[in-house]
Structure 1
Amino acid sequence: MSSGNQTVVHISEQVAVLISCTLSFLGSSLIICTYIIWPDLRTTPRKLLVYLSLADWLSALSYAYGVWRVFDSDSVDCVAQGAISTFANTSSFFWTVAIAIYLYVFIVRSNQRLADSLVLFFHLVSWCVPLAITVAALCLNKIGYDASEVSVGWCWVRIQAPDRVLWMLLTGKIWEFLAYLTLPVLYILIKRHIHRAHAALSEYRPILASSPLSHSFTSMADRKLTLIPIIFIVLRIWSTVRFLLLLVDSPARQNPVLVALHGIGNTSQGAANCIMFVLFTQPLRARLSAALCCCCHKGHAEAQHPYDPSHRPLLGGDTPAQREDNTS
């Protein structure tokens, strides 16, 4: 494996990845804000989604800084950025799988108590394991400049490290591979269970089964369960392809299209989650639309009736004109 090469990151690739980072930052922020604003939506699955969004939010920030700088050496900010993105990205993998496990236990096993008891375990694994791996990599001087061979401008595992493949696996790739295997299996099992339950319900409640509203909600849930693992794999597969090409020392890993897809895919998870779990969720979409309309109407009303200081009530509550009327 050659370690002296360097993948050139073009301006167009930088712009595309920075836009992707911005969308993920905004998407993750929207998920967090909706959770804070509307307490009645604070279910456990959405709480887990907020934790995932925190990881994606931090990941988007660190990747944005890295692709903006396009590092060319083991500088202090390169190591810091590489450590933050390593922790956030690995944590994102764990939280993505944690949500799937929670839904499996809650829906398929029909055990809410067990599912809720797993949340503490999810915290321990999804925060502590990435932190321990990142600290170990930092202490052993494994994080730094990687010549964009398996990144797009940002820093990750030092390309000069003799055991770089091992640390690339530990700091991300092995968890990525496990997610590729785990997510489709869990969501297929959840989908099968929902289809069987819906079929049984339809047999005894034909009116409900023929209800357009019920069919609409079921179809949307079914599409989401299908899209979650597909979107994850579609976004992440490009970084996996480049990693495998690096293992065989193929120059194809430096292809500009592949580099751009890698950069956009790695930084789009927050935006994809926002689209699926906010914009494609009818109750949240309705509330956001209402809030937006309210702001628009308020701004229009203020434009129609601009603020006039001369009509401001005094401490006693009378306007100047009223005071003149009272004294006459």
Structure 2
Amino acid sequence: MANHTEVYFSEQVIVLSSCALSFLGSSLIIITYIIWSDLRTTPRKLLVWLSVSDWFSAVSYAYGVGKVFHTDSVDCVVQGAISTFANTSSFFWTVAIAVYLYVFIVRSNKRGADSLVLFFHLISWGVPLAITVAALCLNKIGYDASEVSVGWCWVKIEAPDHVLWMLLTGKIWEFLAYVTLPVLYILIKRHIHIAHAALSEYRPILASNSTAHSFSSMADMKLTLIPVIFICLRIWSTVRFILLLADSTARQHPVLVTLHGIGNTFQGAANCIMFVLFTRPIRTRLCNALCCCYCCSHCTSNQGTAEGDGTGPLISLCC
């Protein structure tokens, strides 16, 4: 086995840029949730916890790809532990949001869906923490020669059972998410389409409402994009893992390494694009806030004052 993958400077720049975008995107999701109290619905609260995981992933991955570890060290182990915990937690929170929407929409059980939130916290933080602590105690976290990473540390490549620990610390949960997310969102979309068809039949005046149709189309698009984007981002990591198992040097190809780096670090930015920039009321508020900030700054420079605030309807996760 050629037990080392070269990480080139161009790859570092691209992946660091992806980390920066994910950091900013996750921060924006968290900030908008804090600033506007009427956005604090349960689905968006779950999205915030997912963003917290993605935020830590972006920071830890950025440190790893910026330094490109070449041996075991204290900061290598710390970085590997943080990214392992955050990345695994991100998988669980992504599935948790899908489960919540399924129970809420398909099962029409809001109380049941809300009662799952505590369970989501216990699983999405507890399981990754237990796995990470176990890996640390057994000395499994460390230098992986970028064989299934892009400069950062993960499971020690020289560990005789490194494949098992790669599965436990990420891959097995990634595989389960590949299956669970499409199934849940297909069931949700199917339920919505059936309900919408029935509504259109008995209340045609609502079906012809352009505003309602616009929001419905956007929600439908997001329900399609959520699992698609997740798979498109994460599949490169899975491909390199399979190539590692096959002992194929194709896992070291620069294009595949770059796609892997982007896929593992861009989730926070992708969520921000879908649930902030592509959500019209929130996008409008942000534009208004930026305009107000510009006006305030401009007026202050001219010894004037300006004030402004944003209002809008209650926003759910898939508005």
TM over 0.5: yes
1:108-119 equivalences under 5 Å are 108-119=106-117
Residues of 1 paired with 2:301 and 2:217: CA distance? 43
Structure 1 residue 283, shift from structure 2 partner: 1.2
Question: Which of 35, 38, 54 matches 1:37?
Answer: 35
Unpaired runs of at least 5, structure 1:
308-328
Partner of 1:221: 219
Partner of 1:70: 68
Residues of 2 paired with 1:303 and 1:79: CA distance? 50
Partner of 1:60: 58
RMSD: 1.0
Amino acid paired to 2:53: A
Partner of 1:151: 149
User: Which 4+ stretches in 1 moved above 3 angstroms?
Assistant: none
Partner of 2:94: 96
Unpaired runs of at least 5, structure 2:
306-319
SS of corresponding position for 1:63:
helix
Structure 1 residue 304, shift from structure 2 partner: 2.6
SS of corresponding position for 1:73:
coil
Question: Which of 47, 51, 69 matches 1:49?
Answer: 47
Partner of 1:105: 103
Residues of 2 paired with 1:150 and 1:201: CA distance? 49
SS of corresponding position for 2:82:
helix
Task: Please give the TM-score of this superposition, normalised by the length of structure 1.
Answer: 0.92
Partner of 2:295: 297
Is 1:169 equivalent to 2:167 in the alignment?
Answer: yes
Amino acid paired to 2:46: L
- Number of equivalences: 305
Residues of 1 paired with 2:301 and 2:256: CA distance? 49
* TM-superposition CA deviations, 1:169-198 (whole Å, max 9, x none): 000000000000000000000000000111
Partner of 2:181: 183
Residues of 2 paired with 1:275 and 1:234: CA distance? 15
Structure 1 residue 48, shift from structure 2 partner: 0.3
Partner of 1:318: none
Amino acid paired to 1:272: A
Partner of 2:284: 286
SS of corresponding position for 1:154:
coil
Amino acid paired to 1:154: W
Question: Which of 115, 120, 123 matches 1:122?
Answer: 120
Structure 1 residue 303, shift from structure 2 partner: 2.4
Question: Which of 260, 263, 283 matches 2:261?
Answer: 263
Residues of 2 paired with 1:252 and 1:306: CA distance? 62
Residues of 2 paired with 1:145 and 1:55: CA distance? 22
Structure 1 residue 122, shift from structure 2 partner: 0.3
Residues of 2 paired with 1:279 and 1:135: CA distance? 37
Residues of 2 paired with 1:252 and 1:7: CA distance? 10
Residues of 2 paired with 1:8 and 1:304: CA distance? 55
SS of corresponding position for 1:14:
helix
Residues of 2 paired with 1:170 and 1:35: CA distance? 32
Amino acid paired to 1:85: S
CA separation of 1:104 and 1:306: change in aligned 2, threshold 3 A? closer
Residues of 2 paired with 1:191 and 1:95: CA distance? 20
Q: Kindly, what percent of the aligned residue pairs are identical?
A: 80
Task: Please give the TM-score of this superposition, normalised by the length of structure 2.
Answer: 0.94
Residues of 1 paired with 2:10 and 2:130: CA distance? 36
CA separation of 1:103 and 1:306: change in aligned 2, threshold 3 A? closer
* TM-superposition CA deviations, 1:208-253 (whole Å, max 9, x none): 1011111101100000000000000000000000000000000000
Amino acid paired to 1:15: V
Partner of 2:236: 238
Amino acid paired to 1:137: A
Structure 1 residue 306, shift from structure 2 partner: 7.8
